[in-house]
Chains A and B, each alone.
Chain A
Amino acid sequence: MDEHERLKQLLLGEELAELQAQQRRVAALETGAAALPAQLPELLQQGQRGEGRARLAQALAVPVADALGTAVQQQRQSIVDALFPVIGPAIRKAIAESLRDFTDTFNRALESSFTLHGLRWRLESWRTGLPYAEVVLRHTLRFRLDHLFLIERDSGLVLMRESAADLAELDADAIAGMLTAIGDFVRDSVSADGDSTLDSASVGEHLVWVLQGPRANLAAFLRGVPPPVLRNELRRRLELIHAELEDPQLALQADAPQVAAAVQRNLRLDHIEASLRAEAVQQRASPRRWPLLLVLLAAWAALAWWGWGEWQWRARMGEAERLLQAWPGLHVDGIAHERGKRLRVRGLIDADAQPPRAALEALLPDGVALELDLRGYVSGDDAVVLQRARRQLQPPPTVRLKVQSGQLQLHGDAPADWVGQAVRQAGWIAGVQRVDAAGLRAQDDAQAPLRAEWDQLLAALPQQRVHFVRDLELRDAEELRALLATAARLRELGTALHRPLHLLCRGHNDEPGSNATNLDLRARRARWLCEELARAGFAADTLRAAPGAPDPNLPTIDARAATLRPDTAAAEEE
């Protein structure tokens, strides 16, 4: 070792030794690093022993999460395949739990449906229009008011706060500031008019309400399902606070303790809950019954209207039935009706009875269809028998007819011939069982000579002929005058006796000639005679012309004639 090396050893010996030691350590570390991949599994297993397990998990949490994220991005299918056995049971478990929750809820709803509460909630649901489930939730779920922050509107600083007693301390100023900032952010982002802002936010069961005021906002941090009335109560209290707060910052300074106390009082959680309870009691004590009463009144009115209509209809039907039962000549087999729509009557009616349609239509309201299914029969009702007797006997005005229990009674004075005819005919009238004509008196017969003359002239009339020489040339004009005189006298007698006179003009001829010629000649002679009578003043509608038949027994000259005879067919028609 030369001088230089010795000097170097003296000056740097210690550092050189250190350097060599470090070189050996580096070499050892390099050797360890090279062996690390092989030793890593064993080292990880050793690291999990004892307290090292938690430290290892903590140390690996971030890189493992990052690695998993990278794997999801790059090898999605592999991850899905690996998780498939886990995801299936997890989904099934979630569905089973949801079904269990649903079943519990359903069971509770079913149970509540048959309790007094359930019926009351159903009524409330029906009255308010809310779903039944929501009403049940309102009454069964509770809420909790965790914090109330009175926040200055501009700065977001907490002016006053109230928190539930058992909650952990929190940085109210930071929370209020962030809430204000987020409210501003939401307003600037989505609110076009700039006035609207964040009113509420919810995460899970946690809920934040922000009630806006001109100088301060009220933020309520809640859990559960608060009733809507709570928001109203908070709004009311915020208004009361604003009445005290002219300048939010100054008012909370130490020199205004009364203001601070008033504000604090309005934020007291127990006061708010007490107010809610009082309101709930008041609502329970005086529920809004008017909608229910209104509905009941409407139902009662509808029922009354229906009942009144039904009563009226039944009364009318009863009246109609009585009317029909008492209707003479009508036998009712059945009555069917449909309210306000139709009335159907089935039965029998006598030809001489009055039809009941007009009487029924007067009884029924408008729009009701009346159906009469009536068939003919002979009635024995006294009124109908009387009507029938009048029609058949045609009594003079001086005679009164009456039917009682089948007995026909005749009273009054009448011509003797009518009396005789009526007494003979009355026993044959349908429905007449006995005839009482004791009260019928024959009048003095002043017209008897007239009737005798009438009968005589009528009997002789066909024999009175007007003869022709040929065609329509008269053999003796006196025969025509005589015939016209006879006809005129018959007309006078008919008027006096109230007997209509209808005459049939007939023409006759002898045998020679063709049938057609003879028929024409007979017709012309008949018409000629009718024309002569018409000229003599007889009404045309009382005359009828008809060719007569040839009479081989008469001499030729006597057969050429025209004759008259009563037109019995026309008289009967009249």
Chain B
Amino acid sequence: MTEIARKVCMLGDFGVGKTSLVARYVRNTFSDKYLTTVGVKVDSRQLQLADGAGLKLVIWDIAGKSVIDGANQSYLRGASGLILVADGTREASLRAALGLLMQARELLPDPACVLLVNKLDLIERWEVAPATLAEIRRSLPVFETSALSGDGVEAAFAALGEALRP
């Protein structure tokens, strides 16, 4: 019998750092060129949950777009979790991530979600106000991450893994 696995889709506007986050978190099996050709790149990561149980996250890094079109709908099919990624230096990317969440919830029954506000290493240039994030945290787990330093990345994926516990 194979281990328990969950499909997780990573959504976010173009340039928010999704691919860098995945690269930081997983073993890269495939080249990034699939993102520009097929529009998606799939990797996996084995998680150790808090209680010691194992869970495999199969992460579908979907090419950055502000809306979910026909091709992306196919890629979302069967997903259990969503990783929404925004760029803290661009407030518009946060609105795009929340918009993608609304669209995805129409396609998926009840996905587990986390919001990663990326580029923590450039916090001095952030446009996203802490108050805004505090407001979002009331309905969605929010993690401030840096793909450059790796800050917050493991914690975000771990939180998602807990949410996806069988």
Binding site for B on A (CB under 8 A): 152-161, 170-171, 173-175, 177-178, 181-182, 184-185, 187-188, 252-254, 257, 260, 264
Q: Which residues of B contact A153 (CB under 8 A)?
A: 78
A160–B2 touching, CB < 8 Å: yes
Interface residues on B, range: 20 to 34
- Distance of A258 Cα from B30 Cα, bound (Å): 35
B30–A174 touching, CB < 8 Å: yes
Q: Which residues of B contact A184 (CB under 8 A)?
A: 71, 74-75, 77
- Give, as a whole number of angstroms, the nearest-CB distance from A384 to chain B: 105
With CB as the reference atom, state the residue of chain A lying closest to B79.
A155
Q: Which residues of B contact A152 (CB under 8 A)?
A: 78
Given A155-B78, A155-B79, answer yes or no on A175-B7 (Cβ-Cβ < 8 Å): no
Q: Mark B1-16, 1 if CB is under 8 A from A, else 0.
A: 1100111000000000
| Prevailing SS type, chain B contact patch | mixed
Chosen A-B contacts, 9 in total, with CB atoms closer than 8 Å, are A153-B78, A155-B80, A156-B58, A157-B58, A161-B2, A174-B29, A178-B38, A182-B38, A254-B1
- Distance of A174 Cα from B70 Cα, bound (Å): 22
Q: Which residues of A contact B75 (CB under 8 A)?
A: 181, 184
Choose from A154, A175, A181, A252 the contact partner of B38 (Cβ within 8 Å): A181
- Give, as a whole number of angstroms, the nearest-CB distance from B41 to chain A: 7
- Give, as a whole number of angstroms, the nearest-CB distance from B74 to chain A: 4
- The A-contacting residues of B in range 81-127, CB under 8 angstroms, are none
- Distance of A328 Cα from B41 Cα, bound (Å): 106
Given A157-B5, A171-B44, answer yes or no on A185-B30 (Cβ-Cβ < 8 Å): no
- Distance of A400 Cα from B70 Cα, bound (Å): 118
Given A184-B71, A188-B70, answer yes or no on A177-B42 (Cβ-Cβ < 8 Å): yes
Given A174-B30, A252-B1, A264-B1, answer yes or no on A156-B42 (Cβ-Cβ < 8 Å): yes
Q: Which residues of A contact B30 (CB under 8 A)?
A: 174, 178
Choose from B27, B29, B40, B166 the contact partner of A175 (Cβ within 8 Å): B29
Q: Which residues of A contact B41 (CB under 8 A)?
A: 178
Q: Which residues of A contact B79 (CB under 8 A)?
A: 155
With CB as the reference atom, state the residue of chain B lying closest to A152.
B78
A174–B39 touching, CB < 8 Å: no
Query: Does B143 belong to the interface (CB within 8 Å)?
Result: no
Q: Which residues of B contact A264 (CB under 8 A)?
A: 1
With CB as the reference atom, state the residue of chain A lying closest to B43.
A174
B78–A157 touching, CB < 8 Å: yes
Chain A CB within 10 Å — which of B2, B29, B43, B79 has the most? B2
- Distance of A175 Cα from B29 Cα, bound (Å): 8
- Give, as a whole number of angstroms, the nearest-CB distance from A211 to chain B: 18
A174–B44 touching, CB < 8 Å: yes
Given A155-B78, A156-B58, A185-B39, answer yes or no on A177-B1 (Cβ-Cβ < 8 Å): no
Choose from B42, B74, B80, B166 the contact partner of A174 (Cβ within 8 Å): B42
Q: Which residues of B contact A173 (CB under 8 A)?
A: 5, 42, 44, 56, 58
